[in-house]
Structure 1
């Protein structure tokens, strides 16, 4: 993907962690986010979208939703995102597949049919 969002609008340094995979004794795929995982540092915009406490009965009251905008692509659907924000290290997992964002004006100007940037909906990994 050609960088479409200017760097000055992507002030946050995040790490995209793509897990290593192994197979357990039952034949199941196991995802490893430890030292064997691939880590890539990318520029992004991080934004907390859900700022209210969830009050539904049985819901996790610490649940949060975040938006990440980046020029980095592709992002594996099983990737995790590590970001040291104002409150310290946060680890996110994707909440749905990464979404390519298209901008018809930019596509016409550049003569391109590719996506403008990637948007990811994230939730905090707890535990």
Structure 2
């Protein structure tokens, strides 16, 4: 059993970048028209960090978010677009690896995936 749909009220788009190599042989991730977009992905999004960061040298506007979804797989370099945010459209990038959560009592043990997110600025 995965997370029931009623507990995933938000609809997001998962953007998997197109990957290429530049003239210097560096890997380049393209989130524009060449990227693969998977829309209407059911999710739960919540802001985990509600206070300003006060550590010296830290970005005081850094926000940390959690996303829970039944959608899988999600690429490590994916971005999440949330057009229905109460604050207006937001774009997130993953802050670490996707975290699959399992139920060992099931034949298909993947239960849901959790993602730590941060807002993409600019």
Q: TM-score scaled to structure 2, two decimals?
A: 0.93
SS of the residue aligned with 1:8? helix
Q: Which residue of the partner structure matches residue 15 of structure 1?
A: 13
Q: Which residue of the partner structure matches residue 115 of structure 1?
A: 110
Q: Which runs of 5+ in 1 are unaligned?
A: none
SS of the residue aligned with 2:97? coil
Distance 1:22 1:117 in 2: 30
Q: Aligned pair count? A: 120
Whether 1:89 and 2:89 are equivalent positions in the alignment is: yes
SS of the residue aligned with 1:116? strand
Q: Which residue of the partner structure matches residue 120 of structure 2?
A: 125
How big is the alpha-carbon RMSD for the aligned residues of Structure 1 and Structure 2? 1.2
Q: Which runs of 5+ in 2 are unaligned?
A: none
Q: Displaced runs of 4+ in structure 1, greater than 4 A?
A: none
SS of the residue aligned with 2:121? coil
SS of the residue aligned with 1:68? strand
